[in-house]
Amino acid sequence: MYLKMKYLSLHSFLCVSIVCLIQCQPSSENVKRPNILLIVADDLGYTDLGCYGSEIRTPHIDALASSGSRFSSFCTAPTCSPARAMLLSGVSAHLSGFGTMAGDWAENQKGKKGYEGYLNFDIVPFSQLLKDAGYHTSIAGKWHMANQSKIEQWPVNRGFTRSFCLMRGAGGHFHDKQPFLSYFDEATYIEDSTFVDTLHHDFYSSQYYADRAIEYINESQEAEKPFFHFLSFTAPHWPLQVKDEHIDLYKDQYNDGYEVLATRRLKAAKEKGIIPLTSDIASLTPNVRPWSDLSDDEKLRSSKSMEVYAAMIERLDHHTGRVIEHLKSIGEYENTMIIFLADNGAEGNSILTYEDTGEWVERSFDTSYENMGRINSYVELGAGWAQAVSQPFKWYKAFATEGGIRVPAIVHYPKWNMEGGSIKDEFVSILDLAPTFLELANVPHPGKLYNDRPVHALQGKSMQSYVTDKSESIYSEDDVHAWELYGRRSVRKGDWKIEWMEEPYGTNSWELYNIKEDISQQHNVAQSHPEKLEELILGWATYEQRNGVVLPDRPTAYATESYWNDNQTKAEE
């Protein structure tokens, strides 16, 4: 009896001890998981930040760079929706729904896989995986990845706990919900699963999106969950607008014209270490008139467009700073990875030359010089300024050139102990963000099956080991990267890149550049390096086959003015 009792006591003691040991160990759920703040600017030029060589005041974003890392070779996509689809999915735009922009289909692209014009269901957004893993996920700002009549395509059904979004690609930045194209009645906003009827009278896009970011982050704190927030600014996308009190922030600073600004930006970018000291200036594209050829009135209006653009960027930085300061005030700054980037190159294309748009603008808005940049105005940046802020690269948004796809990008995460102010020069893709965030959160990607439905596996790679200097690069010299939109295409392999553009923008043939030696792509060396040209053309053929590319059988969006006047396709509602 004594032995039996002794055995039971020992057994009980061991059981209690084991339970206590398990309970006393910090479980994976109790360990504080990292937050993620993703900030995306819309149509921001390569050198539009102070830390990339700009005269525009961006102290809060520059501060992130000074204690984090800047990327000098971060590449996205030629336009916004494809870039954002690649970002959320980690999969090429041709597989995730944006082989072309919604409404811009050629006849042979309609109904094809990967050309749905919305973030399709052949992928699983990393936001959904983070939400499944217990994250509070939210977005404020531009969505532009849905048919707005299909709620299953809205953020609330693509992995976001909370959302306040502009559904289309652009709109006025004030409470009047100004549309950006003549065939839309107004800009459309949604909150979670509901359309927003009216905006607050003091609504300004950058300010309000930052307000919502703070609100959603607070909700995550109340729920005691780590957060992922996507602060998706619509600045500095046209129509260019700022509040009246900020109109004159850069008054008369651009009166010398875009060629002078291009030279200044190139010099400053070299001094910042963002581009090689041997970089040449990219020559003006054929659609840009020299500043000296403009009339006095044209110069006056053009320089004011750049003034408003610069003010928009300064205010974007200001409101970014408010969100960062809030993170510090609640003790979450040190535990938050912050990534800032632009979705594509600067916008140099003119919407005013398209079908009836110019007449609609003149008829519907106050286009006087005094009203430029204010509510009820309609202002674009213009090709000359877009070239200047894209130096040393050629062309801009909608082109697969470096000016269209290479963007400013910054990563800041105190727990990675990065060398403050460092510059990472190796190639990085927007495809790499999804795997980076998932690795940081310790959330696996499901591979090719999610909730019993087939999905595409990740194509990007985590950049954690590269950013933390545990590896020299993410990709090898043999890895091939490719882009295509509107039939314009490019392929990069190591230091070499080929590009194909239609006339009058290109030669209707493949051009070859060594972008290490010729970063501004001024010298086509296809004839002198035929073997390298064929090697990269083969890389394109492989990408085309693996990603289901359907090249348009006719020019589509962002084509020449004469084409647009006859053939513009309106986007679906």
DSSP 333: S
Q: Which of 303, 211, 200 is nearest to 248 (CA)?
A: 303
- Residue 518: which H helix or E strand, with range? none
Residue type, 110: K
Give the β-pairing of 510-514 and 496-500.
antiparallel
Q: Is 15 a catalytic residue?
A: no
φ, ψ dihedrals at 524, nearest 5°: -75, 115
Cis omega (within 30 of 0) on the bond before 392? yes
CB 390 within 8 A of CB 405: no
Catalytic residue (one of 51, 60, 75, 80): 80
CB 464 within 8 A of CB 439: yes
DSSP 117: S
CB 133 within 8 A of CB 443: yes
What is the torsion angle, in degrees rounded to the nearest 10, for the CA atoms of residue 279, residue 48, residue 403 and residue 480? 90
Q: Which of 64, 42, 35 is nearest to 320 (CA)?
A: 64
Q: In this structure, what token pair is assigned to residue 553?
A: 């059988």
265's CB contacts (< 8 A; 6+ apart) are 47, 53, 54, 388, 389, 391
301's CB contacts (< 8 A; 6+ apart) are 369, 372
Report d(CA 304, CA 296) in Å as an integer: 12
Helices (H), 330-432: 357-364, 383-388, 402-405
Half-sphere exposure (CA, 13 Å, Cβ side) for 371? 10
Is 540 strand, coil or helix? helix
13's CB contacts (< 8 A; 6+ apart) are none
CB 539 within 8 A of CB 493: yes
Report d(CA 417, CA 468) in Å as an integer: 7
Report d(CA 403, CA 116) in Å as an integer: 27
Catalytic residue (one of 94, 144, 319, 412): 144
DSSP letters for 197-210: ----TT-BHHHHHH
Name the one residue in this structure whose structure tokens are 């983070």: 130
* Burial class of residue 563, CB neighbours in 10 A (0-12, 13-18, 19+): middle
Q: Is 80 a catalytic residue?
A: yes
- CA-based radius of gyration for the chain: 25
Helices (H), 59-204: 59-66, 80-89, 93-96, 126-132
Active-site positions read 80, 144
